[in-house]
Structure 1
Amino acid sequence: MQDVGTLYIVATPIGNLEDITQRALRILKDVDVIAAEDTRHSQKLLQQYEISTKLISLHDHNEAQRGKQLVERMRNGENVALISDAGTPLISDPGYTLVNYCRDAGVKVVPIPGACAAITALCAAGLATDKFIFEGFLPVKQQAKEHALSRLIKQTATTIFYESPRRIEDTVSMISEVLGADRQLVVAKELTKTFETFYADEAQNVLSWLQRDPNHQRGEFVLMVAGVENEESDIPEEAESLLLLLCDSLPLKKAAAIVATHYTVKKNALYQRGLALQGKD
C-alpha cells in the first residue's frame, strides 16, 4: 500500500526575507508542490533561497476545487506545502478548507511555525499580553463594524485587528467614537521592513497622527486596542461586605469613599461595584 503524503503549513516572512526558519526552507525544497496564495508574490521568496519546487495557486476563489485536487495528490503519496503571501497560513488567509479536507481524508497535517504579524506586533506594543483576542479584519460595512467594536466596551483583554491602509483612518475614528477618545491604541505598520513603525497613544491622538501625514496611512496595519481595567477583581470580599453595611445608613458615594480609604481600593471601582450589588447597574 502506497504511503499517504503530508500537508505542511509553512510560515513565511512578513517582510524581512531573513525571517524564515531552516526547517521551513528544507520543507519547501523537499515537497513535491507548494500551494501559494499568490504565486507571483511567493516566487520572490523562492528565488531568494534558490528553491525550484513547483508552485500552484490556492486562494479564496479556488480553494474548494484546488483543495480536493491536492488531497488526491497527497493520498497518492505526494507532499504539499501551503504558504500564504506573508506570515502563518490560515491566520486571516486561505487554507481552512484544505486543512479540513486533509483531516477528513486522513492526510497528516504538520505545522511549520514562524512569523505571524499579530504576535510580532503584540510583543513590542507595550500592551498587556497575559490575555489577548485576535479578531482579524473588522467588517467593511459601517453598521457591522460599529457592532463588532461595541462588544469591546467592557473587554479586559488586549484586542488585535488587521487593517488595510484605505480603511485604517475610518476604523480608528470609529474606535474613538465607540470605545472612547481616551482608549489606548497601538498601531504597528510595515513590520520587519525598512520603515517599520509603532505608534501608541489615545485613540483621538492616533487619529490625528494618521491624518497628519499621508505616509502614516500607507502599509499593512496591525491595530491593537487596550482592554479596560478590571477593577472589580481587586475588591476583597470584606470590602464588599463593609460597603453594603455602610450603605444601610450612608449614600453609596460616601460609603465607597470610606471603604476605599480603609482597604486601599479605588473609590470608583467600589462605587460601580456598589451599583451592581444594589441591582442598579
Structure 2
Amino acid sequence: MTGAADLASGKGHRDENFPVASRLVRPELRGPILAFYRFARAADDVADHPTAPPAEKLEQLARMEAGLRGDAGASPAGEALRAVLRERGLTDAHALDLLEAFRRDVTKLRYADWAELMDYCRYSASPVGRFVLDLHGEPRALWPLNDALCTALQVINHLQDCGKDFGALDRVYVPLDVLEAEGIGVEAIGAGQGSPALLRVIADLARRTQGLLDQARPFAAGIADRRLALEVGVIQALAESLAARLTRRDPLSQRVHHRPVEAVGLALRGALGVAAGRLGRRLSGGRLRPYGGPG
C-alpha cells in the first residue's frame, strides 16, 4: 500500500517562507514544534501531490488521523505526534483541525468569497499558532491575535503561489467574487503575467491581509515568554513586508519572496522592536500584558 512517505515532497522546515522553531524558541520546545510541523508537512504533501488520486489522498489522511488517535502502525507521523502530545499533556485538537483543512484541499478547489476563505484558514492556519501557544503555556485569550497573524501568513502564501497552485492542482484560493467583480475568471491566474484586472485583485486581497496584520500587531506584546515574543515579532515584520509587496508586485512574473539578506534585516528589525517594547515597559514600571493589548 502506498504510504504518506511515498507522497512526500522532500520539503523541510527550513524551506518555509516564515520561521519554524527557529533558535529564538526555547531549545526544549523546538522538538515538539518540529514534530507538529512534520505531521503537518506530511499531510500537506499528501493533499498537494500532483498525481495521486483524491481517494488515495483521503485514505492517507485518514491513516494519519488514526495514528494520531493511537492506532499502532497506521501512520508514523501521526504516532510520533501523539507521543509528543501525551508527554506534554497537550490536546490533539489542533492537529485534527489541520487534517480537516487538508481534506478540504483534496475536495474543494474554489472559494466563493473572503468569508469562505477565512473559514478555511481557521482550520489550515490558526491551529499551528494555537499549538505553539499551548506548548508555551500562554493563555487562550491570545488566540484571536494569533489567528489574525496566522491567517495573514496563509493568505500571503496563497497569493504568492496562486499561479503554481492553479497550474499544478487546479486549486484556486483567490475568492471567485473578487475575480468576477473585475470581470475575469480563474483562467487569468494561469497566464504567465498578471493582467491589470488580476493585479487589482491581488492588491485588494493584500490590503485585506494588511488589515489582519494590523489586528495582529499587539500579539507579541501580550506573550509572556520572551523568546516566543521575539519570534512572533520577526514573523510579523516579514509578513508586513510581503503583504506590502503584494500590493504592487505581480506574483505570476515577479519575485515576491525575500532574498536572504532582506529576510535577515527584517527579522532583526522585528525582534529589536519587540525587545525595545518589553524593555520600555519594564523601565516604566509596567507589566507585560497577559493579553495583547495596545503597546
- Please give the TM-score of this superposition, normalised by the length of structure 2: 0.23
Flag the structure with larger Rg.
1
Higher helix proportion (structure 1 or 2): 2
- Please give the TM-score of this superposition, normalised by the length of structure 1: 0.24
